[in-house]
Structure 1
């Protein structure tokens, strides 16, 4: 599996808070063929301490999670994902790509082919996620939630020595 990682930081746009301290991590073509089976991908995530795994797509509206980080493993198809909210960046993703989304970072599916499938998961203790859309009334509480979200102990795909551990400054 390829361990190249790209980092992206997004500013708070007044609607989508994004994350003031952690970058979104994009691992292009990092998921080996053997893990593109949703069951095997879920096992890999579980082996690396990430749980609450699900198989589906990505919502077509901008949303974020204020109480959890999230990993998206693209197991089939292609999509255009908008990350960081309406003012963020558009990514053309394909099977094998992995995206680790810090709490608060907006994301949405802006279009995908019919075979697009994702395995998503969360760090330990964060399987209870929320779905926030940037409504004005949710603002004060979500900023505090995002600040309190714990760092994971491991990279969801590469384990304790993976790129996330270094890039997010996880201390052992």
Structure 2
């Protein structure tokens, strides 16, 4: 029985690896995609919070990738909408972005950018930009309370969705 579960898990992992989000492919510049001189624009989402209490979708535009630098750095403009799908006034939908950027010393630290919507039926639009971007990841959460930061459960439970990775 353990072998069957292991084989089933491996088969599922193989399928998941082969079904990579089209957005990540479009933004990473696989063959046939935009070059360093052109801007790459791709849609991402819809991504849902566990339990489908929130949803986020949008687009990402990348300009200025410099492939002489390792890793490449670019300016990313991220826009979209966050939806609170719960009817509770005490619950909010969050789109948490983890932006990994390149410093002048060549390090790759990250910062979080959170967009919160606490109004059922009225999505919150957002748009922001970051420079020297190496990778953009997203996690969608639905949480009680209106604190200024996402909870540790939101940040550390589950997997981040890669919506951009510099090539």
Instruction: Give the TM-score normalised by structure 2.
Output: 0.26
Q: TM-score, normalised by structure 1?
A: 0.26
Which structure has the larger Rg over C-alpha atoms?
Answer: 2
Structure richer in strand, relative to its length = 2
Structure possessing the higher relative contact order (Cα contacts under 8 Å, 6 or more residues apart): 1
